[in-house]
Copies of this chain bind each other. A is one copy, B any other.
Amino acid sequence: MSAPAPALVDLLGLVAYGELLAFDRLAADARLAPDLRRRAALSEMAAAEIAHYRWIAERITTLGVTPDEAMGPYVEALQAYHDSTEPKDWPEAVTKAYVGDAISDDFLRAIADGLDGPDRRLILDVLHDSRYAEFAAAEIRAAIEADPPVANRLSMWARRLVGEALSQAGRVAAADRGALTALISREGVDAPALFRRLTEAHTARMTAAGLNN
């Protein structure tokens, strides 16, 4: 099934602004790194976001819409998510990157199925490189090994990240012009099932990083 153009523009606008803001926040969070090697690693994760932003913005432009217009409806919700989840230290920063990247990838992978060939490939191409998740998970495990009680704090932090993400997702859905939610809940994507799958995958990832859900 092919996505109608307004839904596609909405989806791409959401993804584009997500990338632009992820860049901004990861770049700032990199300052929390305990050494220059780790700082560079998080900076590289940030830089990957902006490369992906460019591809999405170009696709939006070919649809006859400016990236600014397409991103507009999502500015507030995504900004609110990041404002309410500012990491206080390095373990919180890598946990945020780990949790956020994975959930957004899972969501996009599910949505991609409803898109036509080239757009499906575009969305799959902007998923995060798995070496970033491996780096973040290794940093989380190292933080826990160095100080075991930190596992509890980071587990709570991860729950808060998911909670804030869901609450802002609800806001996006409420403010949506209809096309995006239609795309998500279209024939073939069962929203409760999608939500259950995202949650299960998140739980498995928490365990893999030494956190409890």
Contact = CB atoms under 8 A, between A and B. Distances in A.
Given A23-B47, A47-B46, A68-B35, A53 B30 contact: no
Q: Dominant SS at the A interface?
A: helix
A163 to B, nearest CB: 26
A27 interface: yes
B20 A24 contact: no
Given A43-B50, A50-B43, A30 B24 contact: yes
Contacts of A23: 27, 43, 46-47
A46 B27 contact: yes
A139 interface: no
A interface residue count range (under 10 / 10 to 19 / 20 to 34 / 35 or more): 20 to 34
Contacts of A39: 20
A38 to B, nearest CB: 10
Contacts of A68: 35-37
Given A20-B36, A47-B51, 9 more contacts: A23-B47, A24-B30, A24-B43, A27-B46, A40-B53, A44-B50, A44-B54, A46-B50, A47-B47
10 tightest Cβ-Cβ pairs between the two chains A and B: A27-B27, A47-B47, A47-B50, A36-B68, A43-B50, A23-B43, A44-B50, A36-B71, A37-B68, A20-B40
